[in-house]
Amino acid sequence: MKTNSTNSTKVLYFTLTAYFDTGLFKYLYFIIALSLYAFIVGSNVLLIVVICVNRSLHEPMYMFLCSLFVNELYGSTGLFPFLLLQILSDVHTVSAPLCFLQVFCVFTYAGVGLLNLAVMSYDRYLAICYPLQYRTLMTMWKVAFLIAVTWLPRFLVVVIITSLSASLQLCGNIINKVYCDNQSIVKLACSDTTVTNISGVIVSALTIFVPVILIFYSYMRILKVCFSGSKQTRQKAVSTCTPHLVSLLNFSFGSFLEVLQSRFNNNNVPNMLKIFLSLYFLACQPLFNPVLYGLKMSSIRKSLRKTQCISQRLLQLLWKF
């Protein structure tokens, strides 16, 4: 629905066309999506709590991991409650304010996620290349500063980009995805999008190239130390960098799929494949990372077992009372 005036076109709602009628199967899809969201929330919250309550994990690497898990909760919460409502609904529309709120969440989630991975690679670079000076180079004040830099500037930038998109005059309200994203809305514009496009390119360049350069530089230095260092140094590098590299590759693959879907015409793509491409970027990282870091990092595994033992003792004491 649109309301027209002489100078502007205001879209009141958007229609998401990637959904299709599944009949009674929608209840099965709802249960699957709800189970995935429950697992994401449970696993990420569990690891955040474990890191916060165990003083042995109050180290820079785990603080950055905690920031990563918080971002995954944020990104998945920007998707799954909305997705669950749409699965049960017969009319797949979303109001304009809610759509732009989701754009804001998706945009910030992506930028914060990549910046967080870049900061984690920098932390591993200092730990492996300067092990003796690591404590003085990576202080808790510096950790707090890096986490603030990861989050705050991205929020400010996305506010500007989302405001520019919201001010556009739109010629349609059809989004060929299962959630709202900025590029899909910009494609609907019938007014001049030069400022929006230039701003988007600048933000994308800064958001992508600066973290990628930092990651590339960090791992080049780490590889140099590994090839010239001892066997123990190589083992330490492999054990601490493998989860981060796997997470980075997964994030890059999801981002690549998202760019393909947003930038190119996908009208001929099957609906199930559209849904998979849409959900991979926002769902796989929050699903994948808690399992990856929980299983691969011995310190987290030990703390999880310790927390489990304490919880069991508390339950036994409560049961006695």
**223 phi/psi in degrees, rounded to 5:** -65, -40
Return the percentage of the chain with pLDDT > 70, whole number.
84
Contact predicate 116/215, CB 8 Å: no
User: What's the rounded Cα separation, in Å, for the pair 23 and 238?
Assistant: 49
206-223 confidence digits (pLDDT tens): 778 888 888 888 888 888
The yes-or-no verdict on residue 49 having pLDDT over 60 is: yes
Distance CA 72, CA 68 (A): 6
DSSP characters over 117-176: HHHHHHHHHHHHH-TTTHHHHS-HHHHHHHHHHHHHHHHHHHHHHHHHHHTS-BS--EES
Phi then psi for 185, rounded to 5 degrees? -75, -40
pLDDT surpasses 60 at 319: no
Query: 3-class SS at 179?
Result: coil
SS3 284: helix
Other beta carbons less than 10 A from residue 164's beta carbon: 18
pLDDT at 317: 46
Ranking 154-163, 173-182, 287-296 by mean pLDDT, the lowest is: 287-296
pLDDT over 90 percentage in the chain: 17
Is the per-residue pLDDT at 5 higher than 70?
Answer: no
Mean pLDDT throughout 190-201? 79
Both tokens of 106, joined, read 């998706």
Burial of residue 60, with CB atoms counted within 10 A of its CB: 0-12 exposed, 13-18 middle, 19 or more buried: buried
Q: Is the pLDDT of residue 247 over 50?
A: yes
- Is the pLDDT score of 309 beyond 50? yes
pLDDT on residue 7:
43
What is the average pLDDT value for the chain, to the nearest integer?
A: 81
| Helical axes 25-53 vs 298-320, angle rounded to 10° | 100
Q: Of 278, 302, 300, nearest to 289 (Cα)? A: 300
Among 90-94, 166-170, 216-220, 271-275, the range scoring the smallest mean pLDDT is 271-275
| Weakest-pLDDT range from 110-114, 190-194, 263-267 | 263-267
- For 177, phi then psi, to 5°, come to -145, 180
Q: pLDDT class for 67, splitting at 50, 70, 90?
A: very high
What confidence score (pLDDT) does residue 229 get? 67
Cβ-contact 115, 211 below 8 angstroms = yes
CA gap 57, 298 in Å, rounded: 11
Of 19-28, 39-48, 94-103, 123-132, least confident by mean pLDDT is: 19-28
**Confidence band of 74 (pLDDT split at 50, 70, 90):** very high
Neighbour count for residue 90 (Cβ, 10 Å): 7
**Is the pLDDT score of 72 beyond 80?**
yes
User: Which one of 3.30.300.30, 1.20.1070.10, 1.20.1730.10, 1.10.15.40 gives the CATH number of domain 2-320?
Assistant: 1.20.1070.10
Query: Which of residues 305 and 294 earns the better pLDDT score?
Result: 294
Domain ranges of the chain: 2-320
Please, which pLDDT band fits residue 21 given cuts at 50, 70 and 90? confident
Query: Residue 258 has which token pair?
Result: 């998202």
Q: Interhelix angle for 25-53 vs 271-296, to 10°?
A: 30
Print burial letters for 209-245: b (CB count within 10 Å at least 16), e (below 16). eebeebbeebbebbeebbeeeeeebeebbeebbebbe
Separation of alpha carbons 243 and 222, rounded Å: 15
pTM for the whole thing? 0.84
More confident residue, 257 or 102: 102
The stretch 142-170 carries a mean pLDDT of 89
